Structure 1
């Protein structure tokens, strides 16, 4: 496959796979820790409640951001033709931009915003790249 197309596919599939993991965990969080009387799709209502929520309501959002980034970075690493860690980190940057945007749209507690932005994106993308490298060393080329 053409290396440029393969790299474009790495970013697209990494982003899609990470987004699927992210949204699945967000939905799971709403099922495990429901907020009485809140429609989770109503961003204005969610934004007004976020500062009042306790710690447990932030477990699934953090896991969603971290594990979504991790999954997307692994996929991007495995598919990219060269400079694989760069593509894994690019997924981290894409998700970081999204995370900053969501923290702007739905402001929560400062402790969550800082830990989310500092720990859930770039470090998880780097770890995803390392996992991808181990998978390639063990099993060889994926695509």
Structure 2
């Protein structure tokens, strides 16, 4: 039963983190919309947009990653309920790998690479907070 709980913790942590990313990125797209007619499924159009996007448009993505890291670490640790950071770390590694793929696929500036990698350390902050609060 414990291994199933750990798997559930990681899956739910990834879902909650993905929802966090979607919410913050949608706010960013409302404030800094891509050009009209840009197809989000067209990689060439995305490359062009990211290459010309204003700083804050890209920074909203970093903020989305930060929120996702924190809430996924918190959620995964709470659900795993074993007093360890393992589920949170797994979430952070999975999100980091996805982030690295996206950064390698798009023309992101160096500051984005640095923050895009470092921000996933926040899974530990979320996990630590989860360990300090009352167990479920």
- Considering only aligned residues, what root-mean-square deviation do their CA atoms show, in Å? 1.6
Change (3 A) 1:116 1:38: farther
Any unmatched runs of 5+ in structure 1? none
| Residue aligning to 2:25 | 26
Aligned position for 1:72: 72
TM-score w.r.t. structure 2 length?
0.90
Deviations 1:75-112 (A, max 9, x none): 10001143521211111111101110110122211221
Gaps of 5+ in 2: none
Deviation at 1:49, TM superposition (A): 2.5
> Number of matched residues?
135
Aligned to 1:129: 127
The 5 Å alignment of 1:1-143 reads 2-39=1-38, 41=40, 42-82=42-82, 84-118=84-118, 120-121=119-120, 123-135=121-133, 139=134, 141-142=135-136
The runs of at least 4 consecutive aligned structure 1 residues that moved more than 4 Å come to none
- In the aligned structure 1, how far is the partner of 2:37 from the partner of 2:97? 26
- What is the rounded CA distance, in whole Å, between the counterparts of 2:24 and 2:39 in structure 1? 13
Question: Cα offset for 1:66?
Answer: 1.2
Deviation at 1:59, TM superposition (A): 1.9
**1:30·1:40 contact (CA, 8 Å) conserved in 2?**
no
Q: Is the 8 Å Cα contact of residues 73 and 128 (structure 1) preserved in structure 2?
A: yes
* Cα deviation, residue 19, structure 1: 0.6
CA shift for structure 1 position 38: 4.9
* Matched residue SS, 1:107: coil
